[in-house]
Amino acid sequence: MKMVLATHNLNKAGEMLRILAGLDIEFIALPDFAGAPDVEEDGSTLEENAVKKANSAAMFTGLPALADDTGLEVDALGGAPGVFSARYAGPGCSYGENNKKLLSALAGLPSAKRSARFRCVMALVYPGGKLLTAQGQLEGFITLQVMGKGGFGYDPIFEVKGLGKTLAELAPEEKNIISHRAAALRAMLELLKSGQ
């Protein structure tokens, strides 16, 4: 079976391909289809955005399409940036600008009050319209400063609960075992195995 990875984010696609390696599915990245549309992520929930991305890719390519939408929920900020994680510091902002803004927003808060989680919603849409969704999350804390050089996005300021390291301090294969994205993909594979 062929399946499209419905993302233009190379970091995400790379992680997903490594997590899904060994399956009897040929994954094709969306940018490999000339003229593939880039969807505006304007939904009010992670699920809405994930479904919108998968749906657009399935319609465009005529293949089943898998998409994720991820948000970082910080308890001290009432769950923000959440669905706005990509553009927290403004439209077109960089990962570094998002991290800087979040560290400023939490300035002065002790570690015990910096709890947060990544939540990932995975959507699989078939060309006929059938939809499956699955979720994964990873608990942790926002650090006091940037730590580590790996990963992407908020990884350098997200310390994994119980590990004492940020996601950016882990090797890619370590992140890909414990991550929100890996958990969501495992849940999706369980749905597929159970015949849904």
Residues that bind ligand IMP (CB under 6 A): 9, 41, 68-70, 85-86, 95, 151-155, 167, 179, 181
Active-site option among 38, 68, 69, 75: 69
Q: How far apart are CA 27 and CA 21, in angstroms?
A: 9
Let me know if 69 is a catalytic residue: yes
The residue number with the shortest CB distance to ligand IMP is 153
- CB closer to ligand IMP, 2 vs 18: 18
- CB closer to ligand IMP, 2 vs 149: 149
Least CB distance from residue 152 to ligand IMP, whole Å? Answer: 6
Least CB distance from residue 24 to ligand IMP, whole Å? Answer: 26
Computed on alpha carbons and rounded to an integer, the radius of gyration of the chain in Å comes to 17
Q: How far apart are CA 110 and CA 133, in angstroms?
A: 36
Q: Among 101, 92, 75, 96, which Cα is nearest to 153's?
A: 96
- CB closer to ligand IMP, 27 vs 152: 152
Q: How far apart are CA 181 and CA 186, in angstroms?
A: 9
Q: How far apart are CA 65 and CA 93, in angstroms?
A: 27
Least CB distance from residue 196 to ligand IMP, whole Å? Answer: 23
In the chain, beta strands by DSSP E: 2-5, 26-29, 65-74, 81-82, 115-125, 131-142, 158-160
- CB closer to ligand IMP, 64 vs 81: 81
Q: How far apart are CA 80 and CA 103, in angstroms?
A: 13
Least CB distance from residue 194 to ligand IMP, whole Å? Answer: 26
Least CB distance from residue 108 to ligand IMP, whole Å? Answer: 24
With vertex at residue 13, the alpha carbon angle to CA 11 and CA 18, rounded to the nearest 5 degrees, is 100
- CB closer to ligand IMP, 9 vs 115: 9
Catalytic machinery residues: 69
